[in-house]
């Protein structure tokens, strides 16, 4: 039971079992949850979702890593946490303006870019922290990079 629950959480309810681009699929699957948090609970809900996915993801990843290699493709809860962090600082803007839907697309793209390219310190966390915390933390750092770039884009275009 513990193993099955860990796989369910780590794969974000099966998204991580996508045969191709599981990280991208996990990030896409996170977007409706992020939008719901933003539209119905604002910053507090999205912060809770981000922290919750990070904590549960770390626990679930710890269990899954007992049976797999370091950071297997099926673990996508880290993408969910990082993707949600990307939008955390823009909850008020996204909740109040329906014409800024493009921010979700740009934020998604930026997060995936930084998650794939892994600039320092994302690469450091990915390579040096070979545990469940490391699996989660590199995506948090990618989410911070994406949020910073998204902030600059919003400053110019909104």
**44-81 per-position pLDDT tens digit:** 999 999 999 999 999 999 999 999 877 789 999 999 99
Span 102-106, average pLDDT: 96
- How many other C-beta atoms are found inside a 10 Å radius of the C-beta of residue 153? 15
What are 8-52's pLDDT values in tens digits? Answer: 999 999 999 999 999 999 999 999 999 999 999 999 999 999 999
Q: How confident is the model at residue 100 (pLDDT cuts 50, 70, 90)?
A: confident
CA distances from 112 to 22, 107, 118 (A): 11, 9, 10
Residue 84: strand, helix, or coil = helix
**Would you state the structure tokens that stand for residue 86, as one six-digit string?**
């990307």
Asked if 151 and 86 count as a contact pair (C-beta separation under 8 A), the reply is no
Choose among 79, 86, 76: nearest CA to 38. 86
Measured between alpha carbons, how far is 63 from 120 in angstroms, rounded to an integer? 27
**Would you state the structure tokens that stand for residue 20, as one six-digit string?**
């191709």
Handedness of CA 3, 1, 56, 150 (dihedral sign): positive
């Amino acid at each position: 039971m513990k193993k099955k629950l860990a796989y369910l959480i780590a794969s974000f309810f099966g998204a991580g079992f996508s045969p191709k681009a599981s990280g991208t699929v996990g990030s896409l699957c996170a977007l409706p949850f992020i939008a719901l948090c933003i539209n119905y609970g604002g910053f507090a809900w999205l912060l809770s979702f981000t922290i919750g996915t990070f904590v549960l993801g770390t626990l679930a990843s710890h269990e899954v890593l007992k049976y797999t290699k370091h950071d297997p493709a099926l673990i996508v809860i880290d993408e969910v946490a990082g993707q949600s962090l990307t939008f955390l600082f823009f909850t008020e803007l996204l909740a109040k303006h329906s014409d800024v839907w493009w921010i979700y697309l740009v934020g998604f793209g930026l997060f995936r870019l930084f998650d794939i390219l892994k600039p320092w310190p994302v690469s450091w966390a990915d390579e040096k922290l070979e545990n469940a915390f490391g699996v989660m933390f590199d995506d948090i750092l990618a989410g911070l990079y994406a949020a910073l770039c998204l902030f600059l884009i919003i400053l110019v275009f909104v």
